[in-house]
Chains A and B, each alone.
Chain A
């Protein structure tokens, strides 16, 4: 039985506090700093959206918090406090009390995250029997009610089926049922709907939101689509090259984004109310090499606001005009110095260096 289960509610602070977390991997080419000095705070029952492109470190961050990364070549620094208790140094057998029971994860690809040769019922009861002291029959009843709660038709039939017998949307529901089985306080949803149709995406996100409200569960929603987090997260952190480059309450971020990267990411989404054949805004170039990241601001080579200072000196995370809003930029969007920097670039025909290198 998990000791952690009986310690709950004594602690009144935030559910999750991540301070200065740095995660790097040793590779043949050198050390990759996938997560670089990230600090986050998540309150109970709230949703934090983490947004960024492939390679921005958003997935490594969530796995690093859960301590799910392969140990080989891994260096992890900083602190992860769950309900006030430091968990970053815990060995795997101590983490077992947290995995599933306290914090759980839903992965991107429902096709590969279920065991193909194990019945769905057993995949759900496995976690229940590991963490809760219940009889096999009770675990099975619980599994059936979980399947019903994620709106899977005929749950008693599905318990005896294998993952290949279900559609992608149904499999993702099973993954959600597995994640919710032991009533975790924190759910990591890592691109939970990227592999699904738009209609199924809406169903699955509504389902997660409903379960979250019912269970007063906190969630970290990781995605590359700002549209997905817009209506569903209280706060959003935008990641780039392993760092949080902007973080704010969702409404503030969308109304008054300061970091040129956030602006560019939002602008690249095709708009339904735009005309056909409208040229889409793109971000020139590619994310930087994390073995040899550029000096200065990591986004500078792709940034339309770039000035000489950006290439030399990395901007710190500083507070924005609204409480709880912070960003890394010397020439923020929507400020006089930002407008001046962009206008100057346009006057001088200065384009981001990466754009010249030929859009990859």
Chain B
């Protein structure tokens, strides 16, 4: 259940990004209350790898991605990127790192400036950093637009003239144009049709090989994450639940929350009836006053007293498969979510941000 720990981290010399005990909090109101968005998350990524970050809305996956970019800087923890701790950098030194870290956002249309031509949007990074001569920059923009499947001859057009899928291609072109090492993809396909989603996922895979990229892929759809990832981190309410290779994680989920996420995926087969028993009930509790111990206990049918008192830490249940749970699932075990967890009588705020009660 949602916990902390660093046992899953690998040799620092073999990783491009190493995040340890990341904490992100946002102050709210005047009473000194804080939103505990991310509370002790650790992760690492080897060069060329794709790390999938999954969880429901409000689990802190996007905040984690942004904290890696220092947008905003985390409250505590270290973010070592290519040997440099980004949290110690400020001002110009941090700005110098920016072209090497890029982001792709969820809504392709609103993440492009509607008043600018797509050619300007894509070349802006090159222009700011004055990478190469003007001719080289133009050639580079042509090359990346071509690579993402947008005709460079249409570079004078503006974002509204393109479909959602095409705008996401332009966002990808903008991200790869400065030759970054790491791209954080924040739900890049959630706003797209299934057929377009497949095109964009294939494109990201192509770009990864072509430009030697390392990706953090944030999504709530496990089937999508499985397709793109080498390693998956499941998050819940600012904590880590489970880390492992997608095959292991999805074949034998150890954490009840991972099991619940898997059970919720609609199956495109009419002979499989959607079953209500294995669908996770309830709502994510307020991150202002998160539950004690394991944060998932209020919705977990396996929760015991221990889960309320003691926070689980990550431990290895199988080679390279880590779980933070006192009572992990046995292989093949299904959970009946019609039972409720420990302390569920403490009414979780229906509002992810807790402003209602």
**A interface residues with partner B (beta carbon < 8 Å):** 53-54, 152-154, 157-158, 161, 165-170, 197-203, 205-206, 209, 224-228, 230-232, 250-251, 253-254, 264-266, 268-272, 274-283, 286, 358-360
Q: How far is the CA of A25 from the CA of B352 in the complex (A)?
A: 41
- A165 x B194 contact (CB < 8 A): no
Stretch in B97-105, B127-135, B275-283, B320-328 with 4+ CB within 8 Å of A: B275-283
Question: Contacts A225-B194, A230-B267, A269-B268; is A206 near B274 (CB within 8 Å)?
Answer: yes
Chain A residues near B267 (CB, 8 Å)? 227, 230-231
Chain B residues near A53 (CB, 8 Å)? 193, 195-196
CB distance from B113 to the nearest CB of A (A): 21
- B194 x A268 contact (CB < 8 A): yes
CB distance from B248 to the nearest CB of A (A): 11
Q: How far is the CA of A169 from the CA of B267 in the complex (A)?
A: 21
- A231 x B198 contact (CB < 8 A): no
- Closest Cβ neighbor of B189 among chain A residues: A270
- B205 x A154 contact (CB < 8 A): no
Known interface pairs A277-B205, A360-B165; 15 further A-B residue pairs with C-beta atoms within 8 A, sorted by A's residue number: A152-B350, A153-B350, A166-B351, A168-B57, A200-B57, A203-B280, A227-B265, A230-B267, A272-B222, A272-B250, A272-B265, A274-B226, A276-B226, A279-B205, A281-B198
- A268 x B268 contact (CB < 8 A): no
A interface SS class: loop
Q: How far is the CA of A154 from the CA of B265 in the complex (A)?
A: 28
- A254 x B355 contact (CB < 8 A): no
Residue from the list B199, B266, B357 in contact with A231, Cβ < 8 A? B266
- Closest Cβ neighbor of B299 among chain A residues: A199
Could you write out 17 A-B pairs with CB less than 8 Å apart?
A153-B283, A153-B347, A153-B348, A157-B357, A165-B355, A165-B356, A202-B266, A227-B267, A231-B267, A231-B272, A269-B268, A270-B227, A272-B262, A277-B205, A277-B228, A283-B198, A359-B199
Chain B residues near A161 (CB, 8 Å)? 356
Q: How far is the CA of A228 from the CA of B199 in the complex (A)?
A: 20
Residue from the list A206, A251, A265 in contact with B279, Cβ < 8 A? A206
Does B292 sit at the interface, judged by CB under 8 A? no
Most buried by B among A153, A202, A250, A268: A202
Chain B residues near A197 (CB, 8 Å)? 56-57, 220
- A283 x B195 contact (CB < 8 A): yes
- A202 x B264 contact (CB < 8 A): yes
Does B223 sit at the interface, judged by CB under 8 A? yes
CB distance from A54 to the nearest CB of B (A): 5
Q: In B299-357, which residues have CB < 8 Å from any A CB? A: 347-348, 350-352, 355-357
Q: In B203-229, which residues have CB < 8 Å from any A CB? A: 205, 220-224, 226-229
- B268 x A280 contact (CB < 8 A): no
CB distance from B46 to the nearest CB of A (A): 15
CB distance from B213 to the nearest CB of A (A): 14
Question: Contacts A152-B350, A272-B265; is A230 near B270 (CB within 8 Å)?
Answer: yes
Chain B residues near A274 (CB, 8 Å)? 226-227
- B205 x A228 contact (CB < 8 A): no
- B279 x A228 contact (CB < 8 A): no
Residue from the list A200, A225, A250 in contact with B270, Cβ < 8 A? A250
CB distance from B350 to the nearest CB of A (A): 5
Q: In B149-189, which residues have CB < 8 Å from any A CB? A: 149-151, 163-166, 169
CB distance from A213 to the nearest CB of B (A): 12
- A199 x B264 contact (CB < 8 A): yes
Chain B residues near A270 (CB, 8 Å)? 197-198, 201, 221, 223-224, 226-227
4 closest residue pairs by CB, A with B: A227-B266, A280-B198, A268-B198, A227-B268
Q: How far is the CA of A281 from the CA of B229 in the complex (A)?
A: 18
Does B82 sit at the interface, judged by CB under 8 A? no
Chain B residues near A360 (CB, 8 Å)? 149-150, 163, 165-166, 169
- B164 x A54 contact (CB < 8 A): yes
Q: How far is the CA of A203 from the CA of B194 in the complex (A)?
A: 21
Q: How far is the CA of A99 from the CA of B230 in the complex (A)?
A: 50
- A203 x B279 contact (CB < 8 A): yes
Chain B residues near A266 (CB, 8 Å)? 268
- A165 x B202 contact (CB < 8 A): no
Q: How far is the CA of A278 from the CA of B271 in the complex (A)?
A: 25
Chain B residues near A278 (CB, 8 Å)? 227
CB distance from A129 to the nearest CB of B (A): 26
Does B30 sit at the interface, judged by CB under 8 A? no
CB distance from B45 to the nearest CB of A (A): 15
- B268 x A230 contact (CB < 8 A): yes
Does B269 sit at the interface, judged by CB under 8 A? yes
Q: How far is the CA of A244 from the CA of B231 in the complex (A)?
A: 41
Chain A residues near B357 (CB, 8 Å)? 157
Chain A residues near B284 (CB, 8 Å)? 167
Chain B residues near A265 (CB, 8 Å)? 194-195
Bitwise, B230-247 to A at CB < 8 A (1) or not (0) is: 100000000000000011
- Closest Cβ neighbor of B221 among chain A residues: A198
Does B24 sit at the interface, judged by CB under 8 A? no
Q: How far is the CA of A352 from the CA of B194 in the complex (A)?
A: 20
Does B17 sit at the interface, judged by CB under 8 A? no
- A199 x B279 contact (CB < 8 A): yes
Q: How far is the CA of A279 from the CA of B271 in the complex (A)?
A: 26
- A251 x B261 contact (CB < 8 A): no
- A280 x B264 contact (CB < 8 A): no
- A230 x B269 contact (CB < 8 A): yes
Most buried by B among A199, A264, A286: A199
Q: How far is the CA of A253 from the CA of B269 in the complex (A)?
A: 10
Q: How far is the CA of A203 from the CA of B164 in the complex (A)?
A: 28
- B347 x A280 contact (CB < 8 A): no
Question: Contacts A199-B264, A206-B276; is A165 near B230 (CB within 8 Å)?
Answer: no
Q: How far is the CA of A270 from the CA of B227 in the complex (A)?
A: 7
Q: How far is the CA of A161 from the CA of B272 in the complex (A)?
A: 38
Question: Contacts A53-B195, A199-B260, A199-B261; is A358 near B151 (CB within 8 Å)?
Answer: yes
- B223 x A272 contact (CB < 8 A): yes
Residue from the list B57, B163, B250, B350 in contact with A158, Cβ < 8 A? B350
Q: How far is the CA of A269 from the CA of B201 in the complex (A)?
A: 11
CB distance from B146 to the nearest CB of A (A): 9
Chain A residues near B272 (CB, 8 Å)? 230-231
Chain B residues near A165 (CB, 8 Å)? 350-351, 355-356
